[in-house]
Structure formats: C-alpha cells, structure tokens
Amino acid sequence: MQKIAYVNGSFVPGEQAMVPVTDRGFLFGDGIYEVTSVIDGRMVDNELHLARLQRSLGEIRIAMPAPLERIREIQHELIRVNDLSEGMVYIQVTRGAAERDFVFPAADVAPSLVMFTQQKNLVGAPSGVKGLKVMTFPDLRWTRRDIKSVNLLAQVIAKQAAAEAGCNEAWMLDGEMVTEGGSSTAYILTANDTIVTRPRSTMTLSGCTCAALQTLIVERGLKLEERPFSLAEAKAAKEAFATSATTLVAAVVEIDGEAIGDGKPGPVATELRRLYVERARAS
C-alpha cells in the first residue's frame, strides 16, 4: 500500500511529498512539530499535542496554518487512507518559503503544513517490555527547551552516541542534573516511594504523555514530586522510567552501564505502563 502524506492543502503519495528548497524549516530549522501516537487506530492524548502545537507556534510567532478542527480532520484522514492501526501521526509547521534571510519574511508568506503517518510497534515494543538502557550526555541545547522546535541537532548527536553505545535513549545533563531524555521525559522512584520528575519550565519540554501519566499517578494515590534530580540520585533510585508519545511509559533498567534496582523493569513503572495503555485503548 502506497503511503499518503499531506502537504499544504493536498494529499499526495509519500514520494511526491515535497516543500520548496527555500522553506525556512529546511534552511533555518524555523518551525514546530508534534507527534501523536496511534493505538488501535485511535489517536492518544491528541488534544494535549494540539494545544502544545498552538503554544509553541505562538512562542515563535508563526500563525496557525489551519483551524484546529481542520488539522484534526487531516489527521483522521491520514490514519484512514494509510490504514494505520498502531504508530504515529506527525505534524510539522514552518514559517513558510521565502528568500533566504534571517529576518522573518513578509506577512503574506503563508506557513507550511506537512503531515504524515508512520507505522510503529508501540504497545509491544521490546524496549517497553524489557526496559530502556540509557546513556547520559551533556545538554547542548538552547535555553527555550519548552518550545518543540524542529531544530533537533543536539538530540540527534546525543541519541546517536547512545545508539553507538548499545543504548535506547540519552538522558541530557546540565552539570550533574538530569534535564530530560533526548526524546522523552525522565523520572525516578526514590527510596521513600516518591516519583520525581522536573517541573514545567523553559529547561524542558512539557510532555503530553507526562501530563496524562501524572493524572494516573494522582488517581493511584502515588506520591509525586516535581523537582530537578541529579544523576547520582537516578543511579541510586529504586526505579527509573521515561515517557513519550512513542515509548509510552518505559522502565529504565540501566544508566551508563549501571543497573537500576535489579536491572529489570520495576513494579511501579510496569503498572503505570499497563494503566496508560489501558486508558489509551479506552479513550
């Protein structure tokens, strides 16, 4: 089956999905993206992702390329025409195509909207079942990490280093403090059974899966503390885990070659993953 994408008003075969070479996303990384997971043919936490898309676009002064209702329609149509049962829907909005100049183009230059789907094993992914191996890496990103920019070079470098070391993810370090994963939110479970993750700020991306999971954490009566934590704390934790639209909730079983707990997914992370998938399938 030929994959179908959406580019600036048209549904086209994937190999014909193109933007001009002067698109500012291509030239400057001047754009925003979102990824919504799909389980059983239904999008998960999509309203959180669309709200974050709006916020990020507003932070860098790019207009919404279409009303939210139209974006939802396109998402559903892409899932339908690509017969997607499990995977992701990707959205990218850039400031549009114009003559190369660092200054914003004229107001009549329309933003570019590109969307496509990707089939991916989410629920049964080996890393979700067996746990993630994490490598730490210096956080080289700019200071507005709360904006979901398409400029991901620092994360690419970190995640490539992790992959070459036989790991699934990189946890970024600001000095000795963990900020977040290369493409995930980081958590630890302390000795007194408190789940710790960073609070919302410009230091990290506000995770949509994180927000949904925190609701489950509160519903289960688990203790949650939003604060920074160090690499030393993470290595000494009872459990560690990560969340994202594509990893869902995944235990971290190893950091820099050192086992977390007994080196297997812990009961808290395992239960939270089960609950998250159950909620996603019921939504």
> Does the annotation mark 148 as catalytic?
yes
Catalytic-labelled residue, pool 148, 223, 235, 264: 148
Extract the tokens encoding 126: 């080996």
SS3 105: coil
| Environment class of 96 (CB within 10 Å of its CB; exposed 0-12, middle 13-18, buried 19+) | buried
Residue 99 to residue 91: CA distance in whole angstroms: 24
Closest listed residue to residue 97, CA positions, set 189, 195, 19: 19
Q: Is the dihedral of CA 93, 99, 104, 108 positive or negative?
A: negative
Sheet holding 10-13, edge to edge: 10-13, 4-7, 112-119, 87-94, 31-39, 42-43
The residues near 57 (Cβ < 8 Å, ≥ 6 apart) are 32, 63, 64, 93
Tell me the catalytic residues. Answer: 148
